């Protein structure tokens, strides 16, 4: 019933070859992604000129209309939202492009980006002195978020996309993305908004990887910021992001390292360990230092001595972080440095395990579970053992923490098994030192007692002499003849 009498029969299906099918798909994808002539279903084809004109119109509006999000009475929320929508439209157009933009369009885009990004930043409230507690972290993060981010985010995305499509070799590109542009970007790393610093990191790294003729200048500029932070201001929220960029740069260094790079390690990275805010960026800093030592293990000795030179005295959290960093460095250090580093390193670790802070003491004691550290200590065992054994005995006798005493007992057993004779000899020397110290203490007390007795005698004599002076003179009667 549903079949027409004169309807044609279904033609037999022909099996198409895989190459024809793939070619067909390639053609479809090419037509879909082509941007030389985009097609509007309502208005027909849109030419490159019309696209450029639309970009220029959006750029002009976003350049002349800038909001600070400070005064709600002067800035209309509807106008702010309108600009955000136009920025998203501009970003969508830039992302869909598969061709290079004309020079005048690129110039206008960079001018719009500069007008919106390069602005005076508010004074910083957080000096990066300490790492916030988990309860405080959410509050500090909320207070540091900028209300400008709804406009800044699409602008950073536009800049990142623009860096992908422009030709860095063109003379015009060098004129608009110049050294002043790079310095202005570097200044924005002081922003307290972590979202902006993350976008800046991606943009700055993209420029470094693509604009190769700017690499030396960019390294020097970042060095200046890090040196200023380490030796002068200690106020910059973007040190961690800059060190992340440096981490990827150091990872690409070839071996043997240039003298310039070794100087950067010793004059910039090592002094960054002494700042008050080191805890905030220590993870990135430790990665950069570790990359250097992995590439040239002979640098390990200089790095360890540099860290010991800037060792904190009262900051327990910094001590824990530096102990962990030293443990990682010991695993990569050349074994030729073991004997020279054993005594200063073990001396500092012994001071840490004698710390009244139980966390510092426990972290220092756990270091003796590391095979490479034990190997380094045994390379100069006769020099190291007297220091370490004395520290162990102090912990067993004086430390208040039971967990620290238990860990000390475990390490003590390991050292006794390592060289029982030397351990006993060290105990005898410690006993002799204690005996000599007690004798000196007895002599010191005896000297003070003599001094006090002599002082009391002098006081009494002075008092008697004074009383004698104050006695009235005898009166004589004069008889006249």
> Out of 27-36, 225-234, 307-316, 437-446, which region has the weakest mean confidence (pLDDT)?
27-36
pLDDT at position 25 is 42
Q: Which residue has the higher pLDDT, 135 or 297?
A: 297
> Out of 23-32, 82-91, 284-293, 470-479, which region has the weakest mean confidence (pLDDT)?
23-32
Pick the closest to residue 214 from 185, 191, 241 (CA basis).
185
Share of the chain above pLDDT 90, in %: 65
Confidence of residue 171 (pLDDT cuts 50, 70, 90): confident
Q: Among 17-31, 47-61, 269-283, 459-473, name the most confident range.
A: 269-283
Pick the closest to residue 364 from 400, 331, 316 (CA basis).
316
Burial category of 443 from C-beta neighbours within 10 Å (exposed 0-12, middle 13-18, buried 19 and up): exposed
* Residue 95 pLDDT exceeds 80: yes
Helix (H) or strand (E) holding 39: strand 38-40
> Out of 102-106, 174-178, 463-467, which region has the weakest mean confidence (pLDDT)?
463-467
pLDDT at position 235 is 84
pLDDT at position 100 is 85
* Residue 267 pLDDT exceeds 90: yes
* Residue 358 pLDDT exceeds 70: yes
Q: Are strands 44-46 and 38-40 parallel, antiparallel or unpaired?
A: antiparallel
Q: Which residue has the higher pLDDT, 173 or 123?
A: 173
Q: Which residue has the higher pLDDT, 357 or 14?
A: 357
* Residue 479 pLDDT exceeds 60: no
> Out of 10-24, 111-125, 301-315, 432-446, which region has the weakest mean confidence (pLDDT)?
10-24
Q: What is the DSSP string of 382-441?
A: HHHHHHHHHHHHHHHHH---HHHHHHHHHHHHHHHHH-HHHHHHHHHHHHHHHHHHHHHH
pLDDT at position 72 is 67
Rg (CA), the chain: 38
What is the Cα–Cα distance from 305 to 267, expressed in whole angstroms? 13
Rounded to an integer, the average pLDDT of 370-391 is 94
Rounded to an integer, the average pLDDT of 264-287 is 95
φ, ψ for residue 44, nearest 5 deg: 85, -165
Rounded to an integer, the average pLDDT of 129-152 is 68
* Residue 130 pLDDT exceeds 60: no
pLDDT at position 8 is 40
Q: What angle do CA 87, 89, 95 make, to 5 degrees?
A: 100
Q: DSSP H helical segments within 37-169, as ranges?
A: 48-64, 77-96, 103-117, 134-144, 149-165
Q: Which residue has the higher pLDDT, 14 or 105?
A: 105
Confidence of residue 28 (pLDDT cuts 50, 70, 90): very low
| Cross-strand pairs, 83 | none
Mean pLDDT over each residue of the chain, to the nearest integer: 85
Confidence of residue 22 (pLDDT cuts 50, 70, 90): very low
The model's pLDDT over 30-85, given as tens digits with 9 standing for 90+, comes to: 444 444 444 444 444 557 888 989 999 999 999 998 888 877 667 788 888 999 99
Question: In whole angstroms, how far apart are CA 206 and each of 193, 209, 287, 288?
Answer: 20, 5, 20, 19
pLDDT at position 122 is 82
């Amino acid at each position: 019933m549903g079949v027409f009498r004169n309807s044609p029969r279904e033609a037999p299906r022909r099996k198409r070859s895989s190459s024809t099918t793939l070619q067909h798909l390639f053609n479809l994808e090419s037509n879909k992604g082509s941007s030389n002539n985009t097609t509007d279903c309502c208005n027909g084809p849109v030419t490159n000129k019309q696209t450029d004109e639309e970009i220029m119109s959006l750029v002009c509006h976003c350049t002349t209309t800038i909001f600070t999000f400070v005064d709600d009475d002067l800035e209309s929320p509807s106008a702010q939202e309108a600009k955000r929508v136009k920025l998203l439209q501009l970003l969508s157009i830039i992302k869909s492009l598969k061709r290079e933009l004309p020079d005048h369009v690129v110039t206008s885009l960079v001018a719009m980006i500069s007008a919106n990004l390069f602005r005076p930043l508010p004074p910083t409230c957080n000096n990066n002195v300490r790492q916030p507690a988990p309860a405080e972290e959410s509050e500090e993060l909320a207070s540091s978020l900028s209300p400008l981010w709804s406009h800044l985010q699409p602008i950073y995305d536009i800049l990142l996309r623009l860096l992908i499509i422009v030709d860095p070799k063109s003379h015009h590109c060098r004129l608009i993305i110049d050294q002043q542009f790079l310095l202005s970007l570097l200044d924005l790393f002081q922003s307290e908004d972590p979202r902006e610093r993350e976008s800046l990191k991606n943009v700055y790294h993209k420029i470094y990887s693509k604009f190769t003729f700017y690499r030396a200048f960019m390294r020097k500029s970042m060095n200046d910021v890090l040196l200023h932070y380490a030796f002068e201001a200690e106020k910059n929220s973007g040190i961690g992001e800059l060190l992340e960029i440096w981490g990827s740069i150091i990872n690409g260094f070839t071996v043997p390292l240039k003298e310039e790079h070794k100087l950067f390690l010793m004059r910039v990275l090592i002094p960054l360990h002494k700042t008050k805010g080191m805890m905030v960026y220590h993870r990135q800093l430790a990665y950069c230092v570790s990359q250097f030592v992995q590439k040239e293990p002979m640098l390990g000795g200089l790095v360890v001595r540099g860290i010991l030179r800037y060792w904190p005295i009262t900051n327990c959290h910094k001590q824990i972080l530096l102990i962990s960093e030293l443990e990682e460095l010991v695993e990569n250090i050349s074994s030729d440095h073991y004997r020279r580093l054993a005594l200063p390193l073990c001396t500092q670790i012994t001071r840490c395990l004698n710390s009244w802070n139980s966390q510092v003491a426990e972290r220092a004691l756990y270091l003796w579970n590391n095979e490479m550290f034990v190997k380094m200590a045994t390379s100069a065992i006769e020099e190291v053992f007297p220091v370490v054994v004395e520290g162990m005995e102090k912990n067993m006798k004086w430390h208040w923490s039971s967990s620290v005493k238990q860990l000390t007992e475990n390490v003590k057993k390991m050292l006794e098994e390592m060289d029982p004779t030397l351990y006993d000899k060290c105990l005898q020397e410690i006993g002799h030192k204690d005996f000599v110290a007690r004798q000196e203490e007895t002599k010191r007390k005896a000297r003070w007692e003599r001094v006090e007795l002599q002082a009391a005698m002098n006081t009494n004599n002075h008092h008697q002499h004074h009383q004698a002076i104050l006695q009235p003179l005898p009166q004589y009667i004069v008889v006249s003849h």
